[in-house]
Amino acid sequence: MNEERRRFIRAGAHALVTMPIAGAIAGAIGGCASAPAATTSAGYARLLILVELKGGNDGLNTLVPFTDPAYYRLRPKLGIARDAVVPLSDRCGLHPALQPLLALWKRQELAVLQGVGYPAPNLSHFRSIEIWDTASRSDQYLPTGWLTRTFAATPPPRDYAADGFVIGSYDLGPLDGGARAVTIADAARFGDRAPSTNALARAGTPALEHILRTESDIVRAAAQLRNNVTLATRFPEGAFGNAVRTACNAIARAKGVAVVRLTLNGYDTHADQAPTQARLHAELADGLVALVQGLTELRRWDDTLILTYAEFGRRPRENLSGGTDHGTASVHFALGGRVAGGLYGAEPGLARLSVDGNLAPAIDFRSVYATALERWWGLDSHGVLGGRFETLPIMRA
């Protein structure tokens, strides 16, 4: 798929998302001319939820190496005091705003992945997130997202509402290039009124109908998402809390969906990082706790895997603006009722930084994807990822 085609698809998806539709639901179904014959994978009964920390989250102030004096030398102002850290071990602990996640840690349902990155990292927001979304090498350009390739090889059941829901973002990310994705951009309004299938159908030009694949896809998704569901879970206020509430409502209404992608914006902390990251981490922690409660209420917690990701981390050395600049390896989380909690990867090598002052990766991000594909969904990852990547022992049987 050439770049002009990709821009056209994105433009079509954007136009549909921003239409004045009751419930603010739009179909952004991919651009493949034909799809492989439908098969059923029992693995898709297990739900995958991706949480994008957009902008590049600072891993060193997410999982703080409070016993390493190099950390405080590199961060004389941004370093988090040892007595403020939420300890996970005798050497490291969470940012204080992530305190609500401690209960999951104690239940061994939270895995902390240290040093997630890739070789020859790119520090451009646009290129690096493209690498993560397509699961490419840093010198390789792929036209489709890694989940799109997964679903092309092994499609989810056709009676699912969609392959995936994209909530709170116009960008399809790992579902770009052909997946049957439903975007829900206005999370705050979702659920107020039933979605209008007719509005979706009227919006399609012949070209857009090709992108949407078939009107029956739209009708099926809208019909399922129209069902009313009332949850007892109390969701936090704010954009991410609304996105989490929307995710739980959509999961409850739909007969099936394989993946949900949420986005929490604002992690590009070049200046005034301390208050910004604290606010974002509080939103993240409160939102994840509500997501756990909602999924538990829906009896989906034991068959859900939640993974965080971002385009990159931040440099170990603080800058003169009270922030951190684009870096490499970072810390990410895996949560779920079947997750084997604990610390994975390797402690940051602050005494062994690269010539440009960055960290070496300890876990290739494609190993995280391989774990989701093989150990969560029971699929072969070689064709999707273009090679073999070691899976992580983060899942219980």
User: Does a structural domain hold residue 66?
Assistant: yes
User: Does a structural domain hold residue 7?
Assistant: yes
User: Does a structural domain hold residue 396?
Assistant: no
Residue-wise DSSP of 104-132 = HHHTT-EEEEEEEE-SS----HHHHHHHH
Question: Can you give the pTM of this predicted structure?
Answer: 0.86
Please give the tally of structural domains in the chain: 1
Instruction: Please name the amino acid found at residue 19.
Output: M
Q: Which helix (H) or strand (E) holds 219?
A: helix 215-225
C-alpha 196/C-alpha 57 separation (Å) is 37
Residue-wise DSSP of 352-374 = S--TTS-PPPSEEHHHHHHIIII
Asked if 138 and 131 count as a contact pair (C-beta separation under 8 A), the reply is yes
Instruction: Report the pLDDT value the prediction gives residue 197, as an integer from 0 to 100.
Output: 36
Instruction: Report the pLDDT value the prediction gives residue 215, as an integer from 0 to 100.
Output: 62
How distant, in Å, are the alpha carbons of 51, 109, 110, 159, 307 from that of 333? Answer: 9, 10, 7, 31, 6
Which pLDDT tens digit goes with each residue over 376-394? 999 999 999 999 999 999 9
C-alpha 171/C-alpha 176 separation (Å) is 8
User: Does a structural domain hold residue 394?
Assistant: no
What's the sign of the alpha-carbon dihedral 395, 336, 349, 66?
negative
Asked if 71 and 301 count as a contact pair (C-beta separation under 8 A), the reply is no
Tokens (6 digits) for 122? 């790119």
User: Does a structural domain hold residue 259?
Assistant: yes
**Cα angle value 337/342/348 (rounded, 5°):** 140
C-alpha 255/C-alpha 299 separation (Å) is 14
Q: Give the CATH number, domain containing residue 202.
A: 3.40.720
What's the sign of the alpha-carbon dihedral 337, 339, 340, 346?
negative
Parent domain of 353:
3-385
Instruction: Report the pLDDT value the prediction gives residue 170, as an integer from 0 to 100.
Output: 82
Instruction: Please name the amino acid found at residue 110.
Output: L
User: In 3-state terms, what secondary structure has residue 258?
Assistant: strand
For the chain, 397 residues long, give each residue's pLDDT as a single digit of tens: 444 444 434 433 333 332 222 232 222 222 322 333 333 445 999 999 999 999 999 999 999 999 999 999 999 999 999 999 999 999 999 999 999 999 999 999 999 999 999 999 999 999 999 999 999 999 999 999 999 999 999 999 989 989 999 998 889 999 999 899 888 866 666 654 434 333 333 333 222 222 335 567 777 777 777 777 789 999 999 999 999 999 999 999 988 999 999 999 999 999 999 999 999 999 999 999 999 999 999 999 999 999 999 999 999 999 999 999 999 999 999 999 999 999 999 999 999 999 999 999 999 999 999 999 999 999 999 999 999 999 999 999 7
Q: Which helix (H) or strand (E) holds 28?
A: strand 26-29
For the chain, the straight-line distance linking the first and the last C-alpha, in angstroms and rounded, comes to: 39
User: Does a structural domain hold residue 390?
Assistant: no
User: Does a structural domain hold residue 391?
Assistant: no
